[in-house]
Structure 1
Amino acid sequence: MESRTLSLLEFPKVLERLAALAVSEPAAAACREISPIADPKVLADEQRKLAEAVELRRDAAFTFTPFPDIEAIFPVLDSERRTLDLDALVALGHVLGQVAALREALGKGEPGTSLLRDVVAGAPWPQKTQAALARCLAQDGSLRDEASPELFSVRQEIRAIHQTIMTRVKEFVGEKEMGPFLQDDYVTISSDRYVLPLKANFKGRVQGIIHDYSQTGETVYIEPFFLVETNNRLQELKNEEREAEARVMAFLTGLARDERREVAAAYRLLVSCDVLWAKAALADRLGGALPEVGQGLPVHLLAARHPLLVLAAGGSAEPRVMPQDLVLAEEQRGLIVTGANAGGKTVCLKTLGLLAIMALSALPVSAGEGSRLPYFRKVFVFLGDEQSLEDHLSTFTAQIRHLSRVWPDIDADTLVLLDEFGAGTDPSQGAALAQSVVDGLLDKGAYLAAATHFPALKAYGLSRPGVRAACMLFDPATKKPVYRLAYDQVGASIALDVAREHGLPEELLERAGRYLLLDGGDAGQVFDRLNDLALRRERELEAIAAKRREEEGRVAKLKENLRKAQDTLVEEIRDLSREIARRHEAGRLGRKEAQKALADARKRLIEQGSAITGLQEREEAPAKALDLDALAPGDSVRIISWGKTAVVREKDMRRQAAKVEVGGVSLWVPAADMAPANAPAAKAGGVTVARAPRETAPASGLGLVLDLRGMRADAAEIELAAFLDAALLRGHGELEIIHGKGTGALRREVHRLLKEHPQVASFALAPEDRGGDGMTMVTLK
């Protein structure tokens, strides 16, 4: 990809914003080096890893902390004669410690279920080096006493000498009554030897060696003669300590040298994962998506916004950045954008180009879900004033020279952006040249987007097969742009209105209007009419979308009310059942009366529950009535009120009911409460019955299904607890819980809760053809 293209589209600015989201300097530097990926397979893998990183970051599976750049240690490891110093070892230990935590968080799970997990688990690992550094280095960055027996022994003796010196000095000061003559504490260190800080005018009170004076001259540091031998021994021990530390550092360096390849691989893994987490954070800031990128796909960017505008405005929630759908049909390769000056045409071109570059670089883009892009191997940009005084080039000449240089490299995998191409020369000749260039690009099969004011190119965009015309709308009342793109029409340039808005004298504008009428070239009234119609259509579409959202809200509220009514009914019946049981146990109600009261309560639950469920089904999708005549013993049906599949044993045409067996229990069910076994299931108590999951694990139709994918662990725990309660109240015995594969963290949390729940009889992962370790099958007591 040309550096000129990246610069004109401001891709380096996006990379700077990305670098600011990395936690370490090495990762920030790596972010600034990102460029479009030349291999489609590598791009697909990077996008897959980023999608997994977005989910892991959202689940807080791992949090990065700043780590140092350790590139400088590798030349040392490459030399047999050099040894890493303590600072380098501490830096290496910090890096390997964070990689170990990363491996612990992400490195578990079945191979093949997560690309990022496989990369982390499969990366070479310097086990010996990391273990040795963890054992030898203290939290404060020093070597532990236990790093070697020699170091432990010499430090023990140093501490013993320190204690001896403190005791002897304290005794000396007490015996000689030296307290009033000391400037500071009893003992201090000067020139790496223990000394007494005496007031200068009392220095003759102590026999010893003067080592130094304070800056004010008021304190003299004297080493008493009785400490000389002890200080000498201390110096010998400190030399031994330094030698022991050097041997430990040499040993650790040797381990790192032996595992040099593994150390480098672990460091690269940590940097690359930090970059991935920065990309995931950028996706969060942009409110963006990962578009599908592949050869043969159309340009299909939904709700696209310029990423720099989104970030400058404060993030994805900022409404001031107007989204645009940049869409071409499969057979279309060109987009001609027209409209007013300062109306947003160039921003549309830059948005398309920059989002394409970001997608090719495996970055999230500021567009909606479902966006797709072709795989562009090359992007060429003609934006702005390319005039060069040094090279004696006009704007027009510079454009032509650049196009001539890249023309042989343009093919079907190329995107070309043309902003006012052909301007700067005779308008009729410039327009003809622009049309010819667009023709040539289409003949090569290239994709293109062009912004223009040429009337001829506007008509060309409406008539040329493979090209789609669009215009940036403006408010007809104020003549100001509304920054909305309308397709399959062209727009006016409204140059005179823009000039008036920016303060050009009115007499000049009136004269310009007369000249325009004399030339006979004013199509403004037609364009104004087209713009007005398009703007009204866009506003009508907005009103329809708002009404649809309002209706969806009303339906959601109605469903919630129905769910609450059903929950209230179940709670009432449960309380009634408990009261009947208490009265029976107290002897106030006989066995037969208690059984009859419970049967009446069960009948009320079925009747009212059927009524509520029927309301829900009518709200969602009316169920087809079951034909009892066509039913035969052995057929399977679904009991609507219970959401269970049952087997027909006999039927009573007079009562319009059938005796069915469900879960080993036989009961009579009215025909109105039965549906074909494969009929769509209703919702009960806010939980979907036999709902098909989003991935490969089909619902069995034998129980409830709960989909927890994408939830945080705490939210999933609450949802699962409520789900189990609702299933128990409605008598369901078999459940299906979809948690997805991912890192396995959500699955482990689900299994922990199931293991602790008193009403769960057993649970197990689903068979491979039912979702494998992405779904858990549960049996209730």
Structure 2
Amino acid sequence: MIYPQNAIEKLGFSEIRDLIKEKCLSESGRQMVDKIQPQIKPDQIERFLRQTNEFKELLLHDSPVPVDHMYPIKPLAEKVRVEGSFLAEDELYRMLLSLRTVYAIIRYFNEREGQYEHLELLFEHLPIEKGILRSIEQVLDDHGRLKDNASRLLLELTQQILKSEQEARKRLDTVFKQAQAKGWTADGGLTIRDGRLSIPILAENKRKLKGLIHDESATGQTVYIEPEEVFQLNNKVRDLSFERRREIIRILTSLTNDLRPHVPLLMSYHSLMTKLDFVRAKALFAIDLQATMPVLSKDASINLIEARHPILHLNALKNNGHAVVPLNIKIDDTDRIILVSGPNAGGKSVCMKTVGLLQIMVQSGLLIPADDTSSVGIFKQIFADIGDDQSIESDLSTYSAHLSKMKHFTSFANGRTLIIIDEFGTGTDPLFGGPIAEAVLEQLNKKQVRGVVTTHYSNLKVFASHTEGLENASMLFDNQAMKPMYVLQIGKPGSSYAFEIAQKIGLSKEILASAKSKIGVQQKKVDTLLVDLERDKKVIIDTKYAVAKREKELIELKANYELLQSSIEENKKEIIRKAKDEARTILKDANKLIENTISEIKSSQADKEKTKVLRSGLNKALDNHNSALKKPEKPNVTVSTDNANLEVGDWVSINDSGSEGEILEITKNNSLIIALGELRTVVKKNRVSKLKSKDKSKAIKRQTNVSTGSIADFHPEVDVRGMRTEDALHKLELVLDRAVMIGYPSLKIIHGKGDGILRKFIRDYLRKYNHVSRFEDEHADRGGDGITYAYIG
């Protein structure tokens, strides 16, 4: 599928595998990473991608997976399989820890059944065989040592050994003290020689103590004797120890025999741990890479959005450097082969390698650093020609090696082949290399292959411009700052900027002039045209970004306005409802008061004095109710003549100019920072008046209309030739202000050369204008210092 085999290394996929291996916990997981290869079955690729994506989401948003102990089970299971073999204590302990981990993992996913459906496929309905754990736990303690009560015989032997050792030690201590009292011993206490406790005796006294001599000191002055009366007891301890060891082997053999029927299940547990470790490592790598899962397409197509080269992106994140410029590229039935041109060190090779590497990653089940709306198809073959593959042994020059690959490409490529070719046609005389490359490209295009090709050859750019299926593209270059922008622009070829780069490096004018005279007039015109096109592209892109930014701000303003309008309507309804409820309550209370008064008059039998008092009380109560009904509702916003009440967010009108804006900040010296659209101004508090709610809404609407003025009718060019200085600066100020208001990135000022006086005044004015970041001369071929470009930012 991959041709040649070293294309994996050339594209950087081996480095990707090494980074994933660093995330693995087990050796078997690392071995599985080494086996990663691009696949061609869509179902298999999608399953691998979804498993990695699910594990990534799990790591980011769920509790940790219990992976404390990932010891390999497979070698232990293979040892168990052999009749008559047995697992040692440490081996059984590793198996115990691994099985506990496996069972914890199975329980973890059982508790989340249906939540990670593709990860659950790894388990293949594996059961939790607790009998295996119980068998091992009956024999081993929590530290991995064999329990003394693993069998009745083992317990008896252990107790006998302990008793015999105590008796022997007691007898030895008695003999040692007697020898010490007689002055036979050397300095020091009891010691062990040949695994036996011995007494250090001076050499001249060795015949005085009966026993077995095990050793002597280097000087020969001290010998180490095991006393005769202790010798038999130590032999007994040794015999019991041998018997205990035989019992331990019997217990371990019996336990191993019990495990033998479970070998297939143990192998499945090992496979589960390996796969889980493998997918976990891929997910951790995806998190480091800020990678996502693209849409998998059935077509042989690629649509990468905001894609970044994985290695460069990781290095940028690690070193906190400049972010990698994202790549946007589309390869489909219409534009099958993208021919990328542009200056050296401009990013052509990185663009090409990014496409090839991300394609291999996706088909290998790895997430990629690109927007999740990107779509990637499946290719059955990936052919790459990168770098120098000359070989002395094979008698291949650089160009011969390229031609050998082209022979393979043209012979075996088809519509499901992705080709990656760097510096197409180089390595020989351009007069012949160019036509051969064009013929190869024509043949590959007939075979409907897809791919990315980089070149400097002009004939290939011309060929791509009028050939269906081929599309020119270029890496943008800032020909003013003389530095690459690393942005891929589809649709137009790019200049190599050979003369511009040579001039920046400092090559003499005589050499450059001589070189220019040696190239054809037509070629010079083409290259100049390409330079102009790239400059226009840059302006268009800057304008596009500015328009997009302004559009986003307008959408946010509209949303805020609609939210405010909705809130006002809701408040209005609530106020009316409360007023009606209050009026009903007042009327109800008034009616009740009248009824009570009438009732009391009747009960007093219409007594004049009593009736007079009751009527007076009724009239007073009704007057209170009427005044409550007539009490005006406080408006939401009031006009304040007291500027001490001004707050951030209030809208005000500047008294002397009538300009309206929003208060952004109130400084310590009681000055106001006011936003007038995109502009900011500082005004004293006593020079403004707070707007009413109605006036505020009108001001917001007016300012929105101003700030959203049509960019289409704005002409970013001002011609002040022949004007007086004062008139020229006034006209420039108007155009500059509008450019700032609508967010336009640059302005072209035509002032002519003359004596340079007008140019001097204009540039002095630009230096003082806060929103102008820099300015520069036009290119010498298009007006030079008679035109000034001002950049706004």
Normalization by structure 2: what TM-score?
0.64
Aligned with residue 17 of structure 2, among 15, 18, 38 = 15
Aligned to 2:234: 231
Helix, strand or coil at the partner of 1:147: coil
Q: Report matched runs for 1:457-606 at 5 Å.
A: 457-500=460-503, 507-516=510-519, 520-544=523-547
Q: Does the CA-based 8 Å contact 2:415-2:449 persist in structure 1? A: yes
Using the TM superposition, name which of 277-286 and 149-158 deviates more: 149-158
Helix, strand or coil at the partner of 2:260: helix
State the alpha-carbon separation in 2 of the partners of residues 113 and 556 from structure 1. 37
Aligned to 1:356: 359
Aligned to 1:51: 53
1:240 aligns with 2:243: yes
Q: Does the CA-based 8 Å contact 1:70-1:88 persist in structure 2? A: no
Residue identity opposite 1:35 in structure 2: Q
Aligned to 1:258: 261
| Cα deviations by residue, 1:660-679 (Å, 9 ceiling, x for unpaired) | xxxxxxxxxxxxxxxxxxxx
The Cα shift of 1:374 comes to 0.5
Q: Does the CA-based 8 Å contact 2:306-2:371 persist in structure 1? A: yes
Aligned to 2:392: 389
State the alpha-carbon separation in 2 of the partners of residues 367 and 524 from structure 1. 34
Unpaired segments of 5 or more residues in structure 1?
566-599, 601-606, 609-781
Unpaired segments of 5 or more residues in structure 2?
569-627, 629-634, 637-793
| Cα deviations by residue, 1:324-347 (Å, 9 ceiling, x for unpaired) | 122335643221111101111011
Residue identity opposite 2:383 in structure 1: F
State the alpha-carbon separation in 1 of the partners of residues 326 and 278 from structure 2. 27
Aligned with residue 91 of structure 1, among 94, 100, 113 = 94
1:64 aligns with 2:67: yes
Q: Report matched runs for 1:203-242 at 5 Å.
A: 207-213=210-216, 220-242=223-245
1:28 aligns with 2:43: no
Aligned to 1:378: 381
The Cα shift of 1:436 comes to 3.5
Residue identity opposite 2:480 in structure 1: A
1:39 aligns with 2:41: yes
Structure 1 residues 234 and 479, CA gap change in structure 2 (3 angstroms): same
Aligned to 2:784: none
| Cα deviations by residue, 1:385-417 (Å, 9 ceiling, x for unpaired) | 233333233333322222222434322221111
State the alpha-carbon separation in 1 of the partners of residues 368 and 32 from structure 2. 19
| Cα deviations by residue, 1:753-779 (Å, 9 ceiling, x for unpaired) | xxxxxxxxxxxxxxxxxxxxxxxxxxx
Aligned to 2:704: none
Q: Report matched runs for 1:292-371 at 5 Å.
A: 292-296=295-299, 298-315=301-318, 318-328=321-331, 331-371=334-374
Helix, strand or coil at the partner of 2:6: helix
The Cα shift of 1:80 comes to 2.1
The Cα shift of 1:522 comes to 4.5
State the alpha-carbon separation in 2 of the partners of residues 517 and 192 from structure 1. 97
Structure 1 residues 393 and 240, CA gap change in structure 2 (3 angstroms): same
1:191 aligns with 2:194: yes
The Cα shift of 1:201 comes to 7.8
Residue identity opposite 1:272 in structure 2: K
Residue identity opposite 1:299 in structure 2: I
State the alpha-carbon separation in 2 of the partners of residues 45 and 447 from structure 1. 25
Count, aligned residues: 568
| Cα deviations by residue, 1:272-326 (Å, 9 ceiling, x for unpaired) | 1111111111111111112222312631222222112223344497534222122
| Cα deviations by residue, 1:12-40 (Å, 9 ceiling, x for unpaired) | 11111111111222212221221112322
Q: Does the CA-based 8 Å contact 1:124-1:265 persist in structure 2? A: no
Q: Does the CA-based 8 Å contact 1:289-1:369 persist in structure 2? A: yes
Residue identity opposite 1:461 in structure 2: A
| Cα deviations by residue, 1:730-765 (Å, 9 ceiling, x for unpaired) | xxxxxxxxxxxxxxxxxxxxxxxxxxxxxxxxxxxx
Structure 1 residues 214 and 27, CA gap change in structure 2 (3 angstroms): farther
Q: Does the CA-based 8 Å contact 1:340-1:492 persist in structure 2? A: yes
Structure 1 residues 382 and 213, CA gap change in structure 2 (3 angstroms): same
| Cα deviations by residue, 1:645-684 (Å, 9 ceiling, x for unpaired) | xxxxxxxxxxxxxxxxxxxxxxxxxxxxxxxxxxxxxxxx
The Cα shift of 1:465 comes to 3.2
State the alpha-carbon separation in 2 of the partners of residues 219 and 138 from structure 1. 43
Aligned to 2:276: 273
Structure 1 residues 510 and 203, CA gap change in structure 2 (3 angstroms): farther
State the alpha-carbon separation in 1 of the partners of residues 436 and 156 from structure 2. 88
1:137 aligns with 2:135: no
| Cα deviations by residue, 1:684-737 (Å, 9 ceiling, x for unpaired) | xxxxxxxxxxxxxxxxxxxxxxxxxxxxxxxxxxxxxxxxxxxxxxxxxxxxxx
Residue identity opposite 2:111 in structure 1: K
Residue identity opposite 2:353 in structure 1: K
Larger-Rg structure: 2
State the alpha-carbon separation in 2 of the partners of residues 440 and 72 from structure 1. 54
Helix, strand or coil at the partner of 1:539: helix
Structure 1 residues 343 and 90, CA gap change in structure 2 (3 angstroms): same
Helix, strand or coil at the partner of 1:122: coil
Q: Does the CA-based 8 Å contact 1:412-1:446 persist in structure 2? A: yes
Aligned to 1:282: 285
The Cα shift of 1:178 comes to 6.1
Residue identity opposite 1:51 in structure 2: N
State the alpha-carbon separation in 2 of the partners of residues 275 and 464 from structure 1. 46
Normalization by structure 1: what TM-score?
0.65
CA RMSD, aligned part only? 3.8
Helix, strand or coil at the partner of 2:25: coil
Structure 1 residues 172 and 320, CA gap change in structure 2 (3 angstroms): same
Helix, strand or coil at the partner of 2:367: coil
State the alpha-carbon separation in 2 of the partners of residues 26 and 563 from structure 1. 61
Residue identity opposite 1:401 in structure 2: S
Q: Does the CA-based 8 Å contact 2:289-2:313 persist in structure 1? A: yes
Structure 1 residues 355 and 194, CA gap change in structure 2 (3 angstroms): same
Helix, strand or coil at the partner of 1:450: strand
State the alpha-carbon separation in 2 of the partners of residues 463 and 329 from structure 1. 17
State the alpha-carbon separation in 1 of the partners of residues 556 and 163 from structure 2. 78
Structure 1 residues 375 and 89, CA gap change in structure 2 (3 angstroms): same
Q: Report matched runs for 1:605-684 at 5 Å.
A: none
State the alpha-carbon separation in 1 of the partners of residues 222 and 270 from structure 2. 51
Residue identity opposite 1:479 in structure 2: M
State the alpha-carbon separation in 1 of the partners of residues 204 and 362 from structure 2. 78
| Cα deviations by residue, 1:493-520 (Å, 9 ceiling, x for unpaired) | 1123344556666654442222125675
Q: Does the CA-based 8 Å contact 1:24-1:66 persist in structure 2? A: no
Residue identity opposite 1:29 in structure 2: Q
Helix, strand or coil at the partner of 2:232: helix
State the alpha-carbon separation in 2 of the partners of residues 304 and 339 from structure 1. 20
Q: Does the CA-based 8 Å contact 2:406-2:440 persist in structure 1? A: no
Q: Does the CA-based 8 Å contact 2:87-2:256 persist in structure 1? A: yes
Aligned to 1:160: 163
The Cα shift of 1:478 comes to 2.8
Using the TM superposition, name which of 412-421 and 97-106 deviates more: 97-106
Residue identity opposite 2:420 in structure 1: L
Structure 1 residues 226 and 341, CA gap change in structure 2 (3 angstroms): same
What percentage of residue pairs aligned between the two structures are identical? Answer: 28
The Cα shift of 1:544 comes to 4.9
